[in-house]
Amino acid sequence: MSQFIVKGGGRLRGETAIQGAKNSVLPILAAALLTADQVELRGCPRLRDVDASVRILEGLGCTARWEGTNTLVVNARDMNAWSIPDRLCREMRSSAIFLGSILARCGQAELSYPGGCELGPRPIDLHLSGLRDLGAEIDDTGGVLHCKASHLCGREIVLSLPSVGATENLMLAACGASGVTTIANAAREPEIVDLQNFLIACGARVRGAGSSTVCIECPGPLHGCTYTVMPDRIVAATYLCAAASAGGEVFLRGAREEHLSTVTAVLREAGCSILADEAGVGCCCQNRLSAVRPVRTAPYPGFPTDAQAILMAALLKSQGATVFEENMFENRYRHVDELTRMGANIRVSGRAAVVSGVECLHGAPVRCTDLRGGAALCVAALAAEGETSVREISHIDRGYEDLAGDLQALGASVLRTGD
């Protein structure tokens, strides 16, 4: 069983490049089904979730091959299936993102109902209602989604909440619809903009991504393209919080502050100095951090739920108390018990968690409960006296290409063992 061994107590100093964004490349891989031409994705991170997506594409009759470390070449010319087997659906919770593009390409789609995950139930009712609005007939009884759409017809769809996945799925389905599709109350995350830019590179007419209204029209078949995936804003936030946690000075090449301004604003409030230019984002933390005003997670451009655990870990030794409010997922405080093992003082009550800064943390054996909770354990371990063993790091491998290597480049003592 692989694990990280983290020796805490040292300050960070160094720089590293930020990988491509997991939450951008996954919908873009689904979008590759929309064209029978070759798609070359540059800056594609080597992640467990990307591997799972590749297996899904290959199961549908597509080809996918790595060229060099981070270029993935996908060709859906010979796509010959429209159903995703249950075992592949279970490998990656976000396999639902393939529904819209399979439907657009094949006129039918079948996949097992994606289950919940460590964060709690992950419903897709908004995805399904939007696809039905476009003309799809969906039988979602019995745990398998049977979808048919002899003809998808563009129209206005109003989302009851700005779901990232639903926005992406409907953008992809709309590429197979006649006329114009308008998605109102769309999610505004940067990954939506990246998907728009990919679809435009393939010849689609898409506009409005990043705002609450996205319009999509595909007058003809899409062609292939070469596309570079945006940098991962949550990975960048992780390393900024690592510097805040351990102290020191780091530079993250390729990070874009405009994608994580709510995170950098909180880190500045806590006492870090953050500098950003066209090359990346730097963070310098010399003194003990201060507690900050309440941190409430919200859809973009609000504070990202994916950075909640990571920021919490950075504030464990801050002066004062910080209130967190997790509004996006029901079960996103699973890392708290593990942080408590390291001496953290955190009280959870429903959606709220109060972090009272302590003078010191101590290394301990801890285990990852989920992707971002696992990263938070590593951020906290950097500030703990002594050694921390972080087990079940397969969770971390879903979203971080090389967390240990990146943190080592920033001057941390993190060793991966047991592979």
Catalytic residue ranges: 117
Least distance in angstroms from the C-beta of 177 to ligand EPZ: 19
User: Is residue 126 involved in binding ligand EPZ (CB under 6 A)?
Assistant: yes
Nearer to ligand EPZ, 163 or 389 (CB): 163
Q: Are 11 and 411 in contact (CB under 8 A)?
A: yes
| Bridge partners, 154 (sequence order) | none
The footprint of ligand EPZ on this chain (CB under 6 A) covers a number of residues equal to 23
Q: What is the dihedral of CA 325, 327, 328, 333, to 10 degrees?
A: 40
Q: Are 396 and 47 in contact (CB under 8 A)?
A: no
User: Is residue 230 involved in binding ligand EPZ (CB under 6 A)?
Assistant: no
CA–CA distance from 246 to each of 139, 335, 352, 413 (Å)?
52, 19, 25, 11
| Terminal CA-CA length for the chain | 7
Give strand ranges (E) for 333-383: 345-349, 352-356, 361-362, 365-367
CA–CA distance from 237 to each of 117, 245, 260, 362, 389 (Å)?
23, 12, 7, 23, 22
User: Is residue 235 involved in binding ligand EPZ (CB under 6 A)?
Assistant: no
Nearer to ligand EPZ, 67 or 140 (CB): 140
DSSP annotation of 176 reads T
Please select the residue that binds ligand EPZ; options are 20, 135, 154, 165, rule is CB under 6 A: 165
User: Is residue 329 involved in binding ligand EPZ (CB under 6 A)?
Assistant: yes
Nearer to ligand EPZ, 187 or 281 (CB): 187
The dihedral sign for the CA sequence 317, 236, 190, 95: negative
Least distance in angstroms from the C-beta of 120 to ligand EPZ: 7
Least distance in angstroms from the C-beta of 27 to ligand EPZ: 7
Q: Are 412 and 244 in contact (CB under 8 A)?
A: no
Least distance in angstroms from the C-beta of 187 to ligand EPZ: 6
Looking at beta carbons, which residue is closest to ligand EPZ? Answer: 165
Whether a cis peptide bond, with omega within 30° of 0, leads into 294 is: no
β-strand pairing of 180-184 with 213-217:
antiparallel
Least distance in angstroms from the C-beta of 163 to ligand EPZ: 3
Nearer to ligand EPZ, 248 or 373 (CB): 373
User: Is residue 310 involved in binding ligand EPZ (CB under 6 A)?
Assistant: no
Least distance in angstroms from the C-beta of 10 to ligand EPZ: 28
User: Is residue 399 involved in binding ligand EPZ (CB under 6 A)?
Assistant: yes
Nearer to ligand EPZ, 124 or 236 (CB): 124
Least distance in angstroms from the C-beta of 335 to ligand EPZ: 12
DSSP annotation of 35 reads B
User: Is residue 163 involved in binding ligand EPZ (CB under 6 A)?
Assistant: yes
**Sheet arrangement for strand 38-42:** 63-67, 71-75, 38-42, 225-228
The footprint of ligand EPZ on residues 9-28 (CB under 6 A) is 22-23, 26
Q: Please choose, from the candidates 406, 405, 400, the residue with its C-alpha nearest in 3D space to the C-alpha of residue 21.
A: 400
The footprint of ligand EPZ on residues 52-111 (CB under 6 A) is 94
User: Is residue 375 involved in binding ligand EPZ (CB under 6 A)?
Assistant: no
Please select the residue that binds ligand EPZ; options are 6, 35, 105, 127, rule is CB under 6 A: 127
Residue with tokens 């139930």, as numbered in its chain: 121
Residues 176-215: x/- map of binding to ligand EPZ (CB under 6 A)?
-----------x----------------------------
User: Is residue 400 involved in binding ligand EPZ (CB under 6 A)?
Assistant: no
Q: How far apart are CA 173 and CA 191, in angstroms?
A: 17
Binding site for ligand EPZ (CB under 6 A): 22-23, 26, 94, 122-127, 161, 163-166, 187, 305-306, 328-329, 371-372, 399
